[in-house]
Structure 1
């Protein structure tokens, strides 16, 4: 079959979505402390590597085809994608992989500063297999929540055009569960050093996410008219959400912040994701304003409820994902003059379908994440030691620092003093190498800043 404009657009969209994960690395990396920035970025990058392999081997097969009890596809149906050779289905398989990658990468922000990298590399492929792939099959692959599925047939098919339920609700719930399992960081809510160390990185990451999101939402457009609506809504909702977040900060705190602007953009993008092809531009603006304001207020919940979601994954992705999913029940446009949301006279049928889909996604992600997370935590341990948390997860997990302070920054185990600087606590290294004590002290102080 000849290569068409539609094929090219899906491939371009897949490249845009793949770029979102490095964008997320900048967004999250800037929000952490300097001594944890590399680890945070590595958690996103390793998601690309691990999920990319899982997707080729069995992940794609689990999201379509003949299902097992309408819960997931046969993992061996297209194992290694060999059965897709010579077909255009490989394009769709590549596009789907980028969604799985960004979904699991989103979770990492909740456990910043304190997670073992090895434990994370075990969690990623298991979670994608046990949570993401089944949920993608249920919603998009003809499973439980589809029009012909047991639940979808009973309460109606839920609308999730680009992943509000499959991506953001599942990731947000998983983030909350892991945050509870790992516990709070030392000094949580008290230590000012836990503030973001590089706001320009955060804003760069938000810009890359917004850029990539046009492929995230628009890649599956079925017509030029639908593509135009998706494009406008993907521009309008995050713009309005940024305004809504900043207005909330101005009223509550007296000053709007650049971190709030970046966070508002992401909240709006999350909220419009499930609804991008099914609401009007005015509806997208309204949804964005509400999402920006509500998510700005939701950030404070972790202090009131006592859980340490380091980078506000719950407040932004879970809350905005639920808002966007449920909003479809109110502001969904009628199709051929029929149906639609409550505000268009469509009744409560669509709202019920959205509530049921969100509830199933929450339950599946919560239960499976708890099983996976606790199994890892009780065996090899998911959290680094208190000593390594103080010295910095970059040093303890990667033997690197993100920045050079006075020319004394280090990168990689090839450094000649690596055994003294990384394998042992800083004071022990200083005692063993007294002639290098001042150098070691400067490096240690630098990564704490």
Structure 2
């Protein structure tokens, strides 16, 4: 038994950790295992990849690239391969994953189980749109090969299925051709939500990547930094000069607080706003700015933090986002990792996939106990009334009523759940 934490560090509980080193071992283990849950790099924020007092099947040793067709860009790999493994191997060969989230320190299996999205949803959809096939191992030993065309019902249940349909063993992915690792980036300050939405809407036609940082604690106005980018034609494959750092300790209190937040947000906005607007940036610096700052989650102190990420329909996005920001200010809370962006009109086929057309706001909050939970209850009400949903990959406390309203295909999904798999999240939201 070992203690395991999620990225939000809200708990530190005992798990029976079982390391899988080969697919054959995994098949044999699941034939004889009573129950468990797949666990990769541990980058989910809440309880989706936790199974307190139960078994976790650790998959990071299942990290082999089985084959790659350099002519077509089709990659066959094991599910424990990280997105960073793929990129650092294949970007120099002229191929890149079409969609990645804000970190590449996650496994392919985790990316599928949460159907992750990136800054280019309007152009490329979600991760699952580029998955060609999945080899799924059920407890009891049954192996299901599924794709968009073969046993598609299993494919779409597994896509965004938070690890509950079986253990993903192998995957085939369609990569995209690229000239090099560089992104031409532009940063534009904005001073109202209306201005953000204008920038987001007007950028979709000509810019692949769009995202913004928003200052959610400023009492006088809503301002932020809108960032957009396109893959550059630059073919220079020079080695990335990265100075990785590790946060050295867990402070006794959260370093994200009422004193530090206003100072950080003021300095970050004005320093960035004064920089040159157009820059040629390596894709790792553009897409994963926190990956070089290891264990940054410790800055929130011993009680950890919550990430609250919602998506709201386009037609109510402006008004509902304003309501959320007002409520956060009313509670005297704030986030320095506050990300506001829009999703395109593409709808994922995953039964429990998060992305839907609209606007998504992601916020990190230090865990201050009951006070923080009361704020979330108020935000939940706004999301519910707006017919939005919360992201399961980030969640640690969503009420069942909001889950059922936000994910109306849940009863359809339950038919494909593996009875030998359970998680803290599934017990909390599904009762199983």
Q: TM-score, normalised by structure 2?
A: 0.28
**Larger % of helix: which?**
1
Larger strand fraction of residues: 2
Report the structure number with the largest CA radius of gyration: 1
